[in-house]
């Protein structure tokens, strides 16, 4: 799975079925989170509590509970007398998050490259398939599809590392970074160079070279940040 569910909201009957096993606050949180991460509520925009409550047919109590949880994760911010808004990350915060992500990606890659041969081969096959789908997104250029597959590639290794604390921390980081990526997905590329990076990473992992996998992943994430901050590049 990816760090979030990017699918469209469920139908009303599906939502009602889920209510039986999930708290209303969590349901509302997941729904609002999905809208934020799909770009339906953009960075800097206010989240309309009454609209959310009416759309999900719940009171405003679970909506407030959900927004408090999203605020604690750093995705939204409450402004006194103004309401709750989707956060706009500063350039410095984005830089700091990319620095931390480079460390976490490197660690996950090293752990994944140290898996027993059979498990590592299965993971390497999945990574190669992911890179193949990235290549398909190059012609014709489909930045959104490429970006989603890019996330999947990295998430495969995070899951393979088998560290719950890493998984949770990584999910939180990439969700926040996603807020800044949404405004850049329509810009120029750097995608071909990124594909080459992913090919190298997958090959290093397949060979069991944990040090090279860690080094290549950290470098790749650092380059991704540079591409993001350069007007002519993305991904």
pLDDT tens digits along 6-53: 444 444 444 444 444 458 888 899 999 888 888 888 889 999 999 999
Domain membership flag for residue 172:
yes
Domain membership flag for residue 106:
yes
Same domain, 104 and 41: no
Domain membership flag for residue 1:
no
pLDDT bin (cut points 50, 70, 90) of residue 3 is: low
pTM score: 0.80
Q: Give the count of domains, the chain.
A: 2
Please say if the pLDDT value at position 1 is more than 50: no
Q: What is the mean pLDDT of residues 163-181?
A: 90
Vertex 233 angle, CA 179 and 173, to 5°: 30
Closest by CA to 184, choosing from 141, 230, 234, is 234
Q: Find the CATH number of the domain harbouring 74.
A: 1.10.10.10
Domain membership flag for residue 64:
yes
Q: Are 225 and 103 in contact (CB under 8 A)?
A: no
Same domain, 184 and 225: yes
For residue 151, what are the CA distances in angstroms to 105, 141, 177?
Answer: 11, 17, 12
Q: Are 216 and 116 in contact (CB under 8 A)?
A: no
pLDDT bin (cut points 50, 70, 90) of residue 184 is: low
Which one of 55, 86, 117 terminates a domain? 86
Specify the long-range contacts of residues 24-27, CB closer than 8 Å, at least 24 apart: 24/58, 24/62, 24/65, 25/62, 25/65, 25/66, 25/69, 26/66, 27/56, 27/58, 27/62
C-beta neighbour count of 100 within 10 angstroms: 15
pLDDT tens digits along 104-151: 999 999 999 999 999 999 999 999 999 999 999 988 888 888 888 999
Mean of all residue pLDDT scores within the chain? 86
Which one of 86, 102, 133 terminates a domain? 86
pLDDT at position 181 is: 73
Same domain, 118 and 70: no
Domain membership flag for residue 148:
yes
Which one of 86, 104, 136 terminates a domain? 86
Domain membership flag for residue 156:
yes
* Segments forming the whole domain that contains residue 119: 91-229
Q: How many residues does the chain have?
A: 235
Same domain, 121 and 193: yes
Q: What is the mean pLDDT of residues 196-204?
A: 97
Q: 84 forms bridges with which residues in the sheet?
A: 47, 78
Same domain, 110 and 205: yes
Which uninterrupted H or E stretch holds 46?
A: strand 46-47
Domain membership flag for residue 193:
yes
């Amino acid at each position: 799975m990816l760090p979030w569910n990017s699918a469209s909201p469920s139908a009303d009957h599906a939502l009602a079925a889920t209510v039986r096993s999930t708290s209303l606050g969590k349901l509302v949180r997941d729904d609002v989170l999905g809208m934020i991460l799909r770009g339906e509520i953009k960075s800097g925009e206010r989240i309309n509590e009454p609209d959310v409550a009416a759309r999900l047919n719940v009171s405003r109590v679970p909506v407030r509970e959900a927004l408090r949880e999203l605020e604690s994760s750093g995705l939204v911010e409450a402004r006194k007398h103004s309401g709750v808004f989707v956060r706009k990350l500063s350039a410095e915060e984005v830089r700091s998050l990319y620095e931390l992500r480079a460390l976490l990606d490197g660690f996950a890659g090293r752990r994944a490259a140290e898996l027993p041969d059979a498990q590592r081969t299965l993971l390497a096959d999945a990574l190669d398939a992911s890179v193949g789908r990235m290549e398909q997104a190059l012609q014709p250029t489909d930045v959104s599809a490429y970006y989603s597959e890019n996330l999947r590639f990295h998430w495969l290794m995070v899951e393979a590392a088998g560290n719950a604390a890493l998984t949770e921390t990584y999910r939180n980081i990439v969700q926040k970074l996603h807020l800044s990526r949404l405004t850049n997905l329509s810009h120029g590329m750097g995608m071909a160079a990124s594909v080459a990076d992913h090919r190298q990473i997958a090959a290093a992992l397949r060979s069991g070279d944990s040090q090279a996998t860690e080094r290549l992943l950290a470098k790749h994430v650092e380059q991704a940040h540079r591409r993001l901050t350069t007007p002519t590049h993305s991904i």
